[in-house]
Amino acid sequence: MQMYRRSRGRNGLAAIAALALAVSVSACAKGEDQTGPDSSIGFAECVTKPNTCNTGKTKAGGTITYALGKDIKAWNTLSSAGNTLEYSHALFGVMPRVHHYYPDLSVQVNKDLIDSVEITSKSPMTVVYKIKKEAVWNNGDPVSAADFEYTWKVQNGKDCPGCKAASTSGFSSVESLTGSADGKIVTVVFKDKEAFPDWQAMFVPLYPGKIAAQHGDLAASFAWFEQNVPTYSAGPYKIEKYEPNFALTLVPNDKWWGAKPPLDKVIFRIITKDSELIPAMRNREINAIAPIPTADLVTQAKELADSHWYLGKNLSWEHIDLNLKNTFLADKALRQAIFTAIDRQAIIAKTVGQYAPDTKPIGNHNFVPGMTAYKDVVSATGQGAGNLDQAKKILTDAGYKIEGGKLLTKTGEAVPPLRMRHTTGNQLRKDSCELVANTLKQLGIDIKVEQTDDLGGTLTKGDFDLIIFAWVLSPLRIGGAKQLWHSTSASNYGKWVNTESDKLLDEAAKTVGDDPKAHDLINQANTLMAADAYVLPLFQREVFIAVNKTYVYVRPNPTNHGPVYNVGAWGLLDQAA
């Protein structure tokens, strides 16, 4: 899944950038453990020049076909159902956004859309956006304050209670939003004492306010955007056609005011099975992939003679969540026992450890190793250690019994089979679920492993008991904690409620100018959540990409904006240059 969040400065991100990008690919001899990025020669410059590697003169025309790991089930990426990485990536060339997250983890103003962004007051915090005069939607409507206003109102939690926004962080702290200069200047004033440190994560993306007004009130239009394929665009591309479960095809937006994209078409080919990716690359049915890597996939990709490839640390982390609406999982002791029994190191060894042997269990719900804010709050709880004896003791102390291979509550009721969900075709997650099922069977808990081809819908509906997925982080780290773990957030899918944690997250979300304080508040909330055994962090994921050598400007990006952050620049290399 995707998270839109930001920390006011780069802070610990310099460390994660070094971890992800700055270790020489030749540091280890063949056969030794790789502790840094690994790549083919074509992507070698991505280690030291992450923003400019794989650059060259492009020629006009051509098509790129990029593999998309999920079919698109929701078109409103502001919604909790649409807040899925693949959906956002497919629409990146279509939807305008105020800021972009670059491969070096910098956050930069989208100069195609915005002339300037300025904080004009600190008390109350006031941000002024100046939109380019030329910026228009493809129907001719100007990109204006109306778009900012709509995007704010459907996410502030007040004007549209029926809008299931993925996040209200920042937007709920805005006192007013006004337009001037024919809507080309937008002034955002935050509530007194509610300045938002991650303000650059807001309005990423924007939705068209005038089009929204044609489809009912805020709630009705929010649902309309979710259900309908966009005909609107304020990016370099627009949607030509969508073929369910097959492909989304983009063509240049003839109303685009920026540099003309080199390609005639960008096709997002929907391939949900990892096993189909490399054969499709070999047959040139697709030209680029950026999947969750597996050992087989990485090995086979390295053998593609006509492609560049890259493997390095990512700003994402895999985890197992529990649904506390399940009356059995509402019991803290059962949750603690489940997490104590799960062996994270065994999961790593079976999955990512096969191609990234330096991978270690992660111990935080918001920060990854290498960030200065990272603190392991999980290991001390004993969770993820694979300690079956301790797990059984937790259950026994709480009055549970294991009889005839079944776990019984203290009232003698059998714990029913629990459904553990994972995304369709994802071998890494399938293997992880099977390991968990085999482990928990020893506690008398029957786990039914089930796939889902609609991760966002499954999470939003709470259609799971256990689920494994990943949060893909932005470089902006403070406000996102509230998005994920606050009891009022639609992205708190398992419905964990802890009033003390809410207070800490609220305080962190309005702490501006003191990142260490904000990080400490978040880690205090993390500690409470770890003790409650709600989410078990597994490991930091790798970013992996393979691209046919004939394409330039396609490059790895460890943030949640991914390789598509510059999709308008992608093109075929001009071999004659």
Question: pLDDT tens, 263-293?
Answer: 999 999 999 999 999 999 999 999 999 998 8
Close Cβ partners of 454 (under 8 Å, ≥ 6 residues apart): 73
Close Cβ partners of 197 (under 8 Å, ≥ 6 residues apart): 6, 7, 8, 478, 479, 509, 510, 511, 512, 513, 515, 518
**pLDDT value for 473:** 76
User: What is the percent of the chain where pLDDT is above 90?
Assistant: 78
Residue 235 contacts residue 95 (beta carbons within 8 Å): yes
In this structure, the strands spanning 466-472 and 551-552 are unpaired
Type of residue found at 17: A
Cα–Cα distances in angstroms (integers) from residue 359 to residues 110, 136, 347, 356, in the given order: 34, 46, 11, 6
Q: Is the pLDDT confidence value at 115 over 50? A: yes
Strand partners, 535: 321
**pLDDT value for 509:** 85
* Sequence-ordered alpha helix ranges (H) in 57-119: 85-90
C-alpha 431, offset from chain centre: 21
**pLDDT value for 34:** 39
Sheet holding 174-180, edge to edge: 114-122, 125-131, 185-190, 174-180
**pLDDT value for 292:** 87
Q: Is the pLDDT confidence value at 2 over 70? A: no
Close Cβ partners of 404 (under 8 Å, ≥ 6 residues apart): none
Which residue has better confidence, 515 or 52?
A: 52
Residue 432 contacts residue 350 (beta carbons within 8 Å): yes
- CA quadruple 210, 216, 219, 225: dihedral sign: negative
Residue with tokens 């962004």: 117
Among 36-40, 395-399, 423-427, 442-446, the minimum mean pLDDT is found in: 36-40
Q: Which fold has domain 99-227?
A: Dipeptide-binding Protein; domain 1 (3.90.76)
Residue 458 contacts residue 467 (beta carbons within 8 Å): yes
Type of residue found at 61: G
Q: Is the pLDDT confidence value at 24 over 70? A: no
Q: List the Cα angle 357/542/459 in 5-degree steps.
A: 120
Q: pLDDT (tens digit, 9 = 90+) per residue, 377-386? A: 999 999 999 9
* Alpha-carbon dihedral angle through residues 478, 484, 488, 491, given to the nearest 10 degrees: 140
Q: List the Cα angle 473/143/252 in 5-degree steps.
A: 75
Q: Is the pLDDT confidence value at 528 over 90? A: yes
Report domain extents, the chain: 99-227, 315-541
Q: pLDDT (tens digit, 9 = 90+) per residue, 485-525? A: 999 888 899 999 999 999 999 999 888 878 899 999 999 99
Q: pLDDT (tens digit, 9 = 90+) per residue, 188-220? A: 999 998 889 889 999 999 999 999 999 999 999
For residues 289 and 285, give the distance between their C-alpha atoms in angstroms, rounded to a whole number. 11
Average pLDDT over residues 149-170: 95
| CATH superfamily of the 315-541 domain | Dipeptide-binding Protein; Domain 3 (3.10.105.10)
Residue 137 contacts residue 208 (beta carbons within 8 Å): yes
Among 122-136, 172-186, 362-376, 543-557, the minimum mean pLDDT is found in: 362-376
For residues 555 and 304, give the distance between their C-alpha atoms in angstroms, rounded to a whole number. 17
For residues 535 and 381, give the distance between their C-alpha atoms in angstroms, rounded to a whole number. 13
Q: What is the pTM of this model?
A: 0.81
Residue 77 contacts residue 85 (beta carbons within 8 Å): no
Q: pLDDT (tens digit, 9 = 90+) per residue, 231-258? A: 999 999 999 999 999 999 999 999 999 9
* 48, HSE (Cβ side, Cα atoms, 13 Å): 5
User: What is the chain's length?
Assistant: 577
What token pair was written down for 262? 């080199």
**pLDDT value for 13:** 32
**pLDDT value for 138:** 98
C-alpha 407, offset from chain centre: 36
The DSSP string of 273-310 is: -GGGHHHHHHTTS-SEE-PPP-HHHHHHHHT-TTEEEE
**pLDDT value for 483:** 80
* Sequence-ordered alpha helix ranges (H) in 448-497: 455-461, 479-485
Which residue has better confidence, 27 or 368?
A: 368
**pLDDT value for 577:** 67
Type of residue found at 222: F
**pLDDT value for 479:** 67
Average pLDDT over residues 397-424: 96
Average pLDDT, whole number, for the chain?
91
Residue 311 contacts residue 298 (beta carbons within 8 Å): yes
